[in-house]
Structure 1
Amino acid sequence: MNDSETGEAPTPETGDALGAMLRNYQETGEAAELIERDDGWVGVSAGGEFYFADYDEWPEPDRRAIDRVEGRVLDVGCGAGRAALALQERGHDVTAIDVSEGAVEVARERGVEDARVVDVADVAEAFDPGTFDTVLMLGNNFGLVGTAETAPERLRGLAAVAADDATLVAQSRDPVATDDEAHLTYHEKNRERGRLPGALRMRVRHERLATPWFDYLMAAPDTMAELASDTPWALVDTIEPEEGLDPAGGDYVGILETGE
């Protein structure tokens, strides 16, 4: 008996949903990416148009953020390679990593010279110490630190492959800067479970595919600073949208440095 006969919603197949979405967008110019949270909430992401955007189409804080990039760059969560390509054009030596094999394939095809399948949790084993001058986590990819428990270890791993005076450019958002009841209720349940309010348990879906469930963290600047406090990184600055360009509020890019 199949799903249509029982009247139940079809069960998604576990797989590289992000990679499939990027491939579809590359081939057709259309593709939807859904974000499913463990409380049943489902939202539509910015989608392929965001992942493939040229520099002059980027949100203003993203453009300001890569002006802070220096030297050799580790682009964490590269997606289709939008940041890596922009930085290559500026003459940077960029290594782009993503856990999605499909994303890495698309990034390579689009011209990213060094794109690899590497999990952020494994960077210390994947690269030599002191390799990178800048670590870049655009697209809210500070969230890849996972949870309050895993964040310090992952930040220390990134510091291990960074130079002594490196910069971490990390985009995130203040999760409580919202009046959406669904999100506020989720934040409160997180607090009851002893988790940070912006600690998401989620998966990416595209058509019949869904990634495995994973942890993703939205962190306000004070939370980012606290998570980094037991690591070589220190939050030294934030880049926030110009007035009127972030109507929901809460978006920012944190600038962290080593060697303090």
Structure 2
Amino acid sequence: MDVYSKALADFYAGKTEDGLWLNTSYGDPEEMPLWYFFRSYEEMPDLEKMALSVCEGRILDVGAGTGCHSLVLQHFDNEVTAIDTAAHAVSVMKESGLKNVLHQDFFELENQKFDTLLCLMNGLGFIGKLDRLESFLNKAEELLSEEGQVILDSSDISYLYENAQKPSDRYYGEVSFQYEYKGEKGEWFDWLYLDQNTLVDKADKLGWHTYILHQDNDQYLARLIKK
């Protein structure tokens, strides 16, 4: 079991109060309290509540984690499918009562159509690199109905470079993380934070309209619709 899944499993079983640590490529380690993965609707920020309110039709929750967003959507009688690549996260979602859960990589999902693709908690992060945005949007177009939408949030992390020069060999929102739990370290993985101006520009060139629905400091919520 990977470090991330082990931490989720322990918390779900009531075996730990420890946090999940995130070692970063840009600074000091950051603690991710495990309860945050299991939060209720009342505990969600306004940005996430708005995101859930604009979901329509058949919904695909991409990188659903423990399924906290999907549970809210299901509670309000939405038709939602939750997918994640972490096996124990999938088990947690099933045990929590979600009806439609898949242990699935987004890019390998086939022969299904959705009206909304939901990507929350810096939801584009999993693509890792800016040059994978085109692949993501191509796959989104394949999975979406004719008038479907992508709902996602991300952050502009330029504040990390207020006193330092941005990297010249890559987009500054490309970072790497490593989970650490109870002294055990996982593999490093790539993550993408995409500022809204770059998203709007890149998406426009790839044939998508972008609408910024909400902003909270450096974080924003966006809706993408195919032109």
Flag whether TM exceeds 0.5 (same fold): yes
Match of 1:149, SS? Answer: helix
Aligned length: 226
Q: CA deviation at 1:89?
A: 0.8
Are 2:212 and 2:220, in contact at CA under 8 Å, matched by a contact in 1? no
Say yes or no: does 1:184 pair with 2:152: no
Q: Which residue of 2 aligns with 1:256?
A: 224
Residue matched to 2:25: 38
**Shift in Å at residue 116 of structure 1?**
1.5
Deviation, 1:83, is 0.4
| Pairing 1:154-169 to 2, within 5 Å after superposition | 154-169=136-151
Alignment of 1:105-254 (within 5 A): 105-120=91-106, 122=107, 125-128=108-111, 131-176=113-158, 178=159, 183-184=160-161, 188=165, 191-193=167-169, 195-241=170-216, 249-254=217-222
Matches of 2:88 and 2:164 in 1, distance apart? Answer: 32
Q: Which runs of 5+ in 2 are unaligned?
A: none
Secondary structure, aligned partner of 2:13: helix
Alignment partner, residue 12 of structure 1: none
| Cα shift at 1:117 | 1.8
Q: Secondary structure at the match of 2:131?
A: coil
State the superposition RMSD in angstroms.
Answer: 2.1
CA distance in 1, matches of 2:163, 2:81: 36
Deviation of 1:55 after TM superposition, in Å, equals 0.6
In the alignment, is the contact (CA less than 8 A) between 2:4 and 2:20 conserved in 1? yes
1:9 aligned partner? none
Instruction: Give the partner amino acid of 2:151.
Output: V
Q: Using a 3 Å threshold, how does the CA distance of structure 1 residues 101 and 208 change in structure 2: closer, same or farther?
A: farther
Measure how far apart 1:155 and its partner are: 2.0
Matched-pair contact (CA < 8 Å) for 1:203–1:212: yes
**Contact 2:177–2:190 (CA<8 Å) still a contact in 1?**
yes
Deviations 1:66-120 (CA, angstroms, capped at 9, x unpaired): 1110011110111111001000011111111112111111111111112222223
What displacement does 1:232 show? 4.6
Deviations 1:114-158 (A, max 9, x none): 2222223x2xx32215x1100001111221222111121122112
| Structure 2 length-normalised TM | 0.90
Distance 2:175 2:65 in 1: 20
Aligned residue type for 1:128 = N
Residue 31 of structure 1 deviates from its aligned partner by 3.6
Change (3 A) 1:211 1:77: farther
CA distance in 1, matches of 2:139, 2:180: 28
